[in-house]
Chain A
């Protein structure tokens, strides 16, 4: 039994990592209506900036604050320079642009910092909580806590603020939103900035566990997409629940289902994506898009 609970805890730990990046995906989708394939790479790049600052002797928390600010500015800049020229283009064009961004950011990080792995300081204490043979590390607890806080903030942003309302208007119908006096480009830039910031939080959370190098977020991104699809691409609560479910399903399937083992673990999130798209395309917590005929 203790072993089973331990596996659950491992699954939660992995799931929290996926959820943290899924939140950034959800955020940018809510703001702009597109899925950003470069989200993970932008998070990785921001984490490298934090690492560089820490290397230069800046205290961790100050470096973190500076990184979040840089990520926010960098996200807005990317929107202005890379995305604005193709604004209003078909979704496919936007997807291709974010894929290009993925490759560009990855190569740039490799060029600047090389592909050798770096250790990234953990913001949480190193020990673990032991209860009844179950081993729950403080870093897992810390990641879960931060993810919960970010989720709460996003929920409030979406649900109770004017900006949340404006961005929903922009995402659903940019032309009408503009006619209503909403600064569409400003809202889009804000969306990219915030998503980059949330992504940076995710990168800083996972780097101590995965070790920092340019391909760090590649694997995480697949699971984050599964999480966001499962939970619903427009729901922060859904992203977190989806992330945890994917993490637990993957870990338990790997540990207890003989045929799957660790060889086919990667198949679990893909099966989740396909299953959800077949039976509930809007995701567990998502709202189905309603269009006037």
Chain B
């Protein structure tokens, strides 16, 4: 017994010595750069001819519709590797993991990606609760968590506490501000009824809107919340209809978005201007309700919609269509999840190309130093801008109105940083 303990201790000690003797190679197989200005920075997952990225998405479970996004990402990276030789000569290896939208699994997958697959960075993690869980791990272990696919404001809120995490798409706060500005301009005395999901996402968007209209003639006359577990939002819609509001701000996820649109259409006595948030603005939400019932509703967008015929001759869209057909055959390119994946992968390419040091630190410096950077499929006038204190790459949106069978953009792209 005693000898076994001693032997065990000896083996452990030997292993420790061996590990430290490797030099430049610390725990988790992490490596560091040896010379120049990049000295001492982490070079895990990146070499002169390859870079390894890991993404975590719900490929299974109730939110598995989002699992289509990485297929667009993969197609873009495959195209990049095959036709452009990767980024700065580095081929991109992209590993996708399934968390089923369950935060504990997200952390587990992040751990596997970092400690077993030795990825350079996490690109992307999808969802607010899931990415929040990963954020703690990523910042403890100093792993870049880049371009989180969620509109929560927390990804960019505190670059000091969470220097290793950054979002991408416009935050829900920005989106709320856009709708507020629109009403201040077009309906200065609007009376607004709000329906929102009772969680971080719904509250963020509502807060952006309410802060924007504070002190203006636009007032909120009624508010209702719902839980994601509620069977229906019909009772809430009934209460809002009784408020006499002339604008209805619909802050809901797809299923409840359809329900609220249908309830609004069924109630012929109440005909407010219907503003629906970007999350529930896709055709997959509107079509079940019936296009004839959702005419002239208003929403906001920052990406070109592949189902919108006005981009049919757009070179970026043409490239997307052609390369998707080549590298991800059989997928319906009109599905906005694929174009979202494609667009965010394009943004990742820009970030990788902008790195001064080919290190994890270098990547974070690059994504925090974006200045008027365009990437494919962003709407004209929408660019990525960040700074040491600005962790929100995209804060420009454009309003759109649903007419016929598609969204029509109107007005100018609005930068929520400048206005308000």
Chain A interface (Cβ < 8 Å from any Cβ of B):
3, 6-7, 10-11, 13-14, 17, 107, 110, 114-119, 126, 128, 135, 137, 206, 209-211, 213-216, 218-220, 222-223, 250-251, 254-255, 261-263, 265-266
Contacts and interface: CB of A to CB of B under 8 A. Distances in A.
A214 B259 contact: no
A10 B234 contact: yes
Nearest to B65: A115
Contact of B229 (A7, A14, A219): A219
B52 to A, nearest CB: 30
Contact of A262 (B61, B224, B229, B231): B224
Nearest to A9: B238
B284 A117 contact: yes
B230 A110 contact: no
B102 interface: no
A215 B269 CA distance: 31
Which of B229, B288, B289 is most buried by chain A, counting CB atoms within 10 A of its CB? Answer: B288
Given A10-B238, A115-B64, A209 B232 contact: yes
Given A14-B235, A114-B65, A209-B234, 11 more contacts: A6-B238, A14-B231, A115-B65, A137-B266, A210-B255, A211-B259, A211-B262, A215-B62, A219-B229, A262-B225, A262-B239
10 contacts: A10-B234, A10-B235, A13-B234, A115-B65, A118-B288, A209-B234, A219-B231, A261-B225, A262-B235, A265-B227
A117 B238 contact: no
Given A119-B289, A135-B267, A262-B224, A17 B254 contact: no
Contact of A17 (B224, B226, B231, B262): B231
Interface in B192-236: 198, 224-227, 229-232, 234-236
B288 A117 contact: yes
B130 interface: no
A13 B289 CA distance: 20
Interface of B: 60-65, 198, 224-227, 229-232, 234-236, 238-239, 242, 254-255, 258-259, 262, 266-267, 269, 284-285, 287-290
Interface of A is mostly: helix
Given A110-B62, A117-B254, A265 B238 contact: no
Contacts of A11: 235
Nearest to B237: A10
A152 B231 CA distance: 26
A116 B62 contact: no
A126 B266 contact: yes
A44 to B, nearest CB: 12
Contact of B232 (A14, A137, A263): A14
Contacts of B269: 135
Contacts of B242: 3, 6
Which of A114, A117, A209, A216 is most buried by chain B, counting CB atoms within 10 A of its CB? Answer: A117
Contacts of B232: 14, 17, 209-210, 219
Contacts of A211: 255, 258-259, 262, 288
Nearest to B287: A119
A269 B288 CA distance: 30
Contacts of A263: 198, 225, 227
Contacts of A218: 229, 231
Contacts of A254: 235-236, 239
A220 B231 contact: yes
Contacts of A119: 258, 287-290
A110 B258 contact: no
B258 A117 contact: yes
A251 B233 CA distance: 11
Contacts of B62: 110, 115, 214-215
Given A116-B284, A262-B226, A210 B259 contact: yes
A147 B285 CA distance: 29
B235 A219 contact: no
Contact of A223 (B231, B254, B287): B231
Contact of B255 (A107, A117, A255): A117
A9 B50 CA distance: 64
Contacts of A3: 242
Identify the 4 closest CB pairs spanning chains A and B, nearest first: A219-B231, A119-B288, A220-B231, A211-B258
A117 B286 CA distance: 10
Contacts of A214: 62
A210 B224 contact: no
Nearest to B58: A115
Contacts of B287: 119
A11 B285 CA distance: 26
A208 to B, nearest CB: 9
Contacts of A110: 61-62, 64
A3 B240 CA distance: 12
Which of B62, B242, B289 is most buried by chain A, counting CB atoms within 10 A of its CB? Answer: B62
Contacts of A206: 231
A209 to B, nearest CB: 6
Contacts of B262: 211
A13 B234 CA distance: 10
B234 A14 contact: yes
B331 to A, nearest CB: 14
A195 to B, nearest CB: 20
Contacts of B60: 107
Given A110-B61, A265-B230, A117 B285 contact: yes
Nearest to A130: B269
B229 A266 contact: yes
Contacts of A14: 231-232, 234-235
Contacts of B235: 10-11, 14, 250-251, 254-255, 262, 265
A126 to B, nearest CB: 7
A178 B230 CA distance: 43
